Amino acid sequence: MAFRAMFLLLLAIPLIEIALFIVIGQAIGVWPTLLGVILGAIIGSMIIRHQGLKLVGDIRNTMGRGALPGLKLADAMLISIAGMLIAVPGYFTDVVGLLLLLPPLRTAIYGFLKRRMRIIGDVAAAGASPSRPRTIELDDDQFRPR
């Protein structure tokens, strides 16, 4: 089911982009259409750089307080996806990328994912067994160099 949806999405995006190029090109002309795509990429990259630098500072502050920056890292992931979408030439991907830069939409995405996901375990328990020691002590007669 997920594979089929992904396939349809990958097929639909270029078709939507081509249709938008045709419609916008007929409405405002070829050169303004191409200029709009280039300006969208430039403005989008400036927005991403600004939000990305702010986010890096927020992550540093959160880690400096001794907390895990889980939500900030998720923000960084979505902002990166937005950057990739804005870098792709086209109006549809630019609009979707710019929408992902809006904090209220990212919060709604987190709420949607939170209702459908469950985190199992914690960081301290991952891979460590409390009943077994983490170090192995050997006497000199039990150790030999290779």
Q: What is the 3-state secondary structure (H, E, C) of 30-98?
A: HHHHHHHHHHHHHHHHHHHHHHHHHHHHHHHHHHHCCCCCHHHHHHHHHHHHHHHHHHCCCHHHHHHHH
Q: Is residue 143, in this structure, part of any structural domain at all? A: no
Q: Is residue 125, in this structure, part of any structural domain at all? A: no
Q: Is residue 123, in this structure, part of any structural domain at all? A: no
CA distance 51 to 70: 17
Half-sphere exposure of 2 (CA within 13 A, CB side): 0
> pLDDT > 70: what percent of the chain?
87
pLDDT (tens digit per residue) in 27-40: 999 999 999 988 88
Q: Is residue 77, in this structure, part of any structural domain at all? A: yes
Question: Per-residue confidence at 121, pLDDT binned at 50, 70, 90?
Answer: low
Q: Is residue 57, in this structure, part of any structural domain at all? A: yes
pLDDT (tens digit per residue) in 65-116: 888 888 888 888 888 888 888 878 889 998 999 899 899 999 999 889 888 8
Over the range 47-69, which residues count as b (16 or more CB within 10 Å of their CB) and which as e? bbeebbeebeeebeebeeeeeeb
- Average pLDDT rounded to a whole number, residues 50-63: 83
| Cβ neighbours of 90 (radius 10 Å) | 21
Q: Is residue 69, in this structure, part of any structural domain at all? A: yes
Q: Is residue 48, in this structure, part of any structural domain at all? A: yes
Q: Is residue 43, in this structure, part of any structural domain at all? A: yes
Provide the mean pLDDT of the chain.
82
Question: Per-residue confidence at 130, pLDDT binned at 50, 70, 90?
Answer: low
For the chain, how many structural domains are there in total? 1
Which amino acid belongs to residue 43?
I
Task: Determine the structural domain holding residue 60 and report its residue range.
Answer: 2-116
CA distance 82 to 106: 11
pLDDT of residue 93: 92
CB 41 within 8 A of CB 110: no
Q: What is the pTM of this model?
A: 0.68
